[in-house]
Amino acid sequence: MKFIVYCTFFLFLISCSDSLEYNPPRQFSDQQKTILTSFILSKDSSTIELPEGQFSFDKSLILEGKTNVIIKGQGKDKTILSFKNQTQGAEGIRIANCKNITLQDFTIEDAAGDNIKVTDTEGILFEDLTVGWTGKVDSTNGAYGLYPVLCKNVTVRNCIVFGASDAGIYVGQSDTVLIEGNTTYWNVAGIESENSKEVIIRKNTSYENTGGILVFDLPGLTQYGRNIEVYNNNVYENNMENFAPPGNMVGVTPPGTGILVLATKGVQIHDNTIRNNKTIGVGMVSYSLLEAMGGDENTGGGGSREELEKQNELDINYDPFVGNIKVYNNSYENSYLLPNLSNDFGKLFLLKFGTDIPQVAWDGLQSPDYFLADGSINPDYAICVREAEGVKSVNLDAANEFEGLEVNPAIFNCN
């Protein structure tokens, strides 16, 4: 007991730091009417040319029902759109019911809600953008930096995203997605794929978030996720305290998480560099465990846990278990002595493993269909871990109060 008290105090000391803050110099020009008009009057197969300069807006820029439109600035450091004084609308840029839209070469900041939201669009490219929130990083920041939802053929490439109180780069209920070469930091989740399928997340750098990369499936939505590949990413120092607004589901993400898979099937995680994430390198959990270990039961806001619990009861086809997960050829390093003790996962790992915490963990919660009739593991629920010698993987056996916790279990030895 004395050891745990000392460890908790030590972690408190090393975790305390001044709030993160970003205050770039800005000198705004008044081009709101001109730029708003260019969005309103844009035609199919046209380019909206954003001029060089720093521009402030009090309402959203909206593009709806258009095809083959390019929204182009003069460069990330040359064209800056600020919505810090926004009084109308929730998004900085809102795009809906479009086809083949490109956004590139500008910075967008400080929307009341999401900086760029795209819905019901086929073919959307985000490229060479800087997206974030200025001032102190806290729960009053908007939820999402880039937020394509219900879209097809989504590409997010070479963007910098920071300060989101939910996810920096988020893709939801979408098909055929490439998230490549981006940098995310100071978000609750650096990158999040939610209920999306045919997703590739590669060659990104995700650091100083609460969680680096999240792959979630939640109940009550239009589709379930599958076929997600996460590889060649650099995921490190994701140890920020979780600053999501009370009640949001992402608020249960433990600080110190590298990659987390929740209730999703068909995920490959390989050839990533995963360093100095205090609590866990790769975690695989069921919906019910993350819900149970998430701490406070506060609710409120969009995507609240209370609403999701109701949806879980109503969605009879939702499968809360992870399965068909392959984890291999990743590189791990953790120079921290202790996990983050502000969450139940960190406390559990300290209690069970001391300072020798695992790199890969599965909660061990098994679907009723986990075993086939012949006693073999159902491939739809298999967890396959093939990492280098010395990498510790664990089956936590959470269903039995961790009584059967097993290090490097034989059930992980599958192809």
C-alpha 165/C-alpha 332 separation (Å) is: 27
The β-bridge relationship of strands 144-149 and 116-119 is parallel
Task: Give the model confidence (pLDDT) of 126-168 as tens digits.
Answer: 999 999 999 999 999 999 999 999 999 999 999 999 999 999 9
Residue 32, number of CB atoms within 10 A of its CB: 16
C-alpha 251/C-alpha 64 separation (Å) is: 32
Indicate if the pLDDT at residue 311 is higher than 70. no
Residue 378 gets the label, from left (phi > 0), alpha (psi -120 to 50) or beta, of: beta
pLDDT of residue 344: 86
Q: Which of 99-113, 152-166, 394-408 has the lowest mean pLDDT?
A: 394-408
Indicate if the pLDDT at residue 19 is higher than 80. no
Work out the percent of the chain whose per-residue pLDDT is above 90: 84
Question: Which residue bears the tokens 């890969």?
Answer: 360
What dotted CATH number matches 36-132?
2.160.20.10
pLDDT of residue 7: 41
For every residue of 34-79, DSSP letters joined together read HHHHHHHT--TT-EEEPPSEEEE-SEEEEEES-EEEEEE-S-TTTE
Domain parsing of the chain, residue ranges: 36-132, 171-415
C-alpha 203/C-alpha 105 separation (Å) is: 20
Task: Give the model confidence (pLDDT) of 256-265 as tens digits.
Answer: 999 999 999 9
Q: Which of 85-99, 281-295, 299-313 has the lowest mean pLDDT?
A: 299-313
Band of pLDDT at residue 5, cut at 50, 70 and 90:
very low
Global pTM exceeds 0.85: yes
pLDDT of residue 395: 97
Average pLDDT over residues 331-355: 91
Task: Give the model confidence (pLDDT) of 365-385 as tens digits.
Answer: 999 999 999 999 999 999 999
